[in-house]
Chains A and B, each alone.
Chain A
Amino acid sequence: MLPDKSGYFSEFGGKYVPETLMYALNELDEVYKKIKGSRTFREEFLYYLKQYAGRPTPLYFARELTRKLGGAKIYLKREDLCHTGAHKINNAVGQALLARKLNKKRIIAETGAGQHGVAAATAAALFGMKCAVYMGREDMKRQALNVYRMKLLGAEVIPVESGTRTLKDAINEAIRDWVTNVRTTHYLIGSCVGPHPYPSIVRDFQSVIGEESRKQFLAVQGKLPDYLLACVGGGSNAIGLFHPFYKDKVKFIGVEAAGRGLKTGRHSAPLSKGSVGILHGMRSYLMQDSGGQICETHSVSAGLDYPGVGPEHSYYKKIGRAEYVSATDSQAIDAFRQLCETEGIIPALESAHALAYLKVLAKKTTEKQTVIVCLSGRGDKDLDIVTKKDKY
């Protein structure tokens, strides 16, 4: 099973970090290996997911949306119904428990849309830890509600002024904090990115999405779905949905943010338009220029506004296990509205990228086929953005 011992999914992944962090990564690796097989840890984790985070989340047949689009039957994995409003809580609870085992009393996190920041702040409040969240100044503006939520939960939100003032720079600052406070602090990374063992830790904690979906779908349909569909920024909700179906004959589709359009250069789609490079501790697909400088990205959704992607997705792309497509800002906003109107569900703009691709998929499929879409989060946080784009 991948990653290998050095943390590689084929050529992707690895540990590209300052030496100072190696002690923490090795410690994390050792402790995680131990608890991964531990039944007590698993039970504790699942206890909090069930009693605190509200799992299992429903697998909902979106009858109206299916009727409207035609094509495959659409099932929504309702991660938006998790406590704090997105799948991010799965990983935050898992890693906070892990931090406890590591005897770390302080956690730091980066956040783009604020969903992971809120989840980390929540887990920190629950387990009595100090929490600092790095967030780009630009993102603090567009996700002001989540900033307030984090503060209510007792976290310190540290504005990031460097670079493009978005998720990428928040990760840089979080890593700098970690290098400084590595002895006392656990870095609670929010996506399946970063140096080994983070991509596999986040994947494992998020795999509850796919494990539940598999069981729920089998119970209703007596077979497996034909397609799995999820948005990909760093890619944690997608890998969480995909991974438990890895060996099955189920097609994986990841949807990146095409921003203003793939041809404009104003997007966040490294798998569609990037090349292999090294950033944030991992070797993976990246948006970079000919000199190896990281490019500015754009997406209407702060959670997808990131120039890299988890190494396991790069691997899935390489071996053809998953197909990666993209949806533009305006396609995502259309899909956002459509789900509100047809199903009475307000999706996060991130998840709306996955929904946007349903239109394309509908043309390729028949009603006999089925697709599970990961509705990774709810859209309350995005109302400001969508209202501003409102033409009516």
Chain B
Amino acid sequence: MNRINRKFNQLKRKRKKALITFITAGDPDLGTTEKLVPEMAQSGADIIELGVPFSDPLADGPTIQESSQRALKSGTSLAKILKTVKRLRKITEVPLVLMTYLNPVHRYGCRKFVDECESAGVDGIIVPDLIAEEAGNLITMSKKSGLSTIFLAAPTSSPGRIRMIASKSTGFLYYVSLTGTTGERKSISKSLIAELKRIRGMVKIPVACGFGISTPEQAGKVSRYADGVIVGSAIVKIIKKYGKTSRTVKEVKKFVSSLKEAI
């Protein structure tokens, strides 16, 4: 069984919810990423998403756009990220998910990407500009490699689409909390809770909710209605603030712990 499923099963038995944290790999450099992953896991991150930087991240708000730019400037590439994951696998068993736009994968070669994800120890992939019905090849290849394909469902997805998306998703379903790009928001939309209830009634796999969740309070609130909560931009902001200094790891740990306590 893959690490993501195992994790959700464990949490379910303990009646706990998953904290999923996102950072852009290579921001500000891959060395920092390599330090952050095990530390976040220790501070309570149940699953970690590593963003693969892309020049044109159209689902992302300014915070993650800028982090992608920093990562690209530091020379980060998909190949190097996979090597980093391989090294991380020697020291941590935290489930790792790559979040990448389609073009870097397409350029790398879908087959090669899936194979190398498997051998490096990646557990799942999220491709925000790949809708489930365009993903036939990737799904087939991933299935053979035991790699989870996590698709996104949105507030604008019809019930029919949500069922279709859930049927093609493995690991968990990524529910986008709002219509918009990634990034912090002042508050959680009022309709979100009702939507989450509706969706969890419709699908059998775990539902994790992300986009716009940036404080422990917000994470705590959403976690009551989802199987997992995804926090990205708020962590990326801390990384931006402290850069390559030793404060980065310390502050990220502190923040991740506070998220974990809240959910």
Contact = CB atoms under 8 A, between A and B. Distances in A.
Contacts of A19: 131, 151-154, 156-157, 161, 165, 176
B187 to A, nearest CB: 16
Given A23-B158, A279-B103, A291-B107, A183 B179 contact: yes
Contacts of A181: 179
A278 B107 CA distance: 9
Nearest to B61: A176
A18 B72 CA distance: 22
Given A18-B152, A292-B106, A294-B103, A279 B131 contact: no
A15 B59 CA distance: 14
Interface in A179-206: 179-183
Contacts of A162: 62, 65
B145 interface: no
Given A19-B151, A292-B103, A292-B105, A24 B180 contact: no
B134 A24 contact: no
Contacts of B153: 19
Interface string A4-21: 001000000011111111
Given A176-B181, A183-B156, A277-B103, A293 B176 contact: no
> Chain A interface residue count: which class?
35 or more
Contacts of A172: 56, 58
A128 interface: no
Contacts of A179: 58-59, 179-181
Contacts of A281: 129
A163 interface: yes
B164 to A, nearest CB: 10
Contacts of B133: 6
Contact of A294 (B56, B77, B78): B56
Interface string B105-142: 11110000000000000000000111101100000000
A21 B181 CA distance: 12
A16 B179 contact: no
Contact of B129 (A16, A290, A291): A16
A186 to B, nearest CB: 14
Contacts of B31: none
B59 A18 contact: yes
A168 interface: yes
Contacts of A280: 56, 58
A388 to B, nearest CB: 29
A225 B180 CA distance: 48
A67 B25 CA distance: 61
Contact of B58 (A24, A175, A290, A291): A175
B241 to A, nearest CB: 20
A24 B155 CA distance: 12
Contacts of B128: 18
Nearest to B79: A291
Interface residues of B, number: 39
Contact of A176 (B58, B78, B154, B157): B58
Interface string B34-72: 000000000000000000001110110110010000001
A237 interface: no
A182 B62 CA distance: 19
Contacts of A291: 77-78, 104, 107-108
Contacts of A278: 101-103, 106, 129
A228 to B, nearest CB: 32
Interface in A225-276: 276
A17 B62 CA distance: 18
Contacts of B104: 291-293
Contacts of A180: 179-181
Contact of A288 (B78, B107, B151, B152): B107
A142 to B, nearest CB: 21
B161 A22 contact: yes
B180 to A, nearest CB: 4
Interface string A155-189: 00000001100001100100110011111000000
B129 A182 contact: no
A176 B180 CA distance: 7
B125 to A, nearest CB: 15
A22 to B, nearest CB: 6
A292 B52 CA distance: 11
A189 to B, nearest CB: 14
B107 A163 contact: no
Interface of A: 6, 14-24, 162-163, 168-169, 172, 175-176, 179-183, 276-281, 286, 288, 290-294
16 contacts: A18-B59, A19-B156, A23-B161, A163-B55, A172-B58, A175-B58, A179-B181, A180-B179, A182-B156, A182-B179, A183-B179, A276-B106, A279-B103, A280-B58, A288-B107, A291-B77
Interface of B: 54-56, 58-59, 61-62, 65, 72, 77-78, 101-108, 128-131, 133-134, 151-158, 161, 165, 176, 179-181
Given A20-B156, A291-B77, 20 more contacts: A15-B131, A16-B130, A18-B59, A18-B154, A19-B131, A19-B151, A19-B152, A19-B154, A19-B157, A19-B161, A20-B179, A22-B157, A23-B154, A23-B157, A163-B55, A179-B58, A277-B107, A281-B129, A292-B106, A294-B55
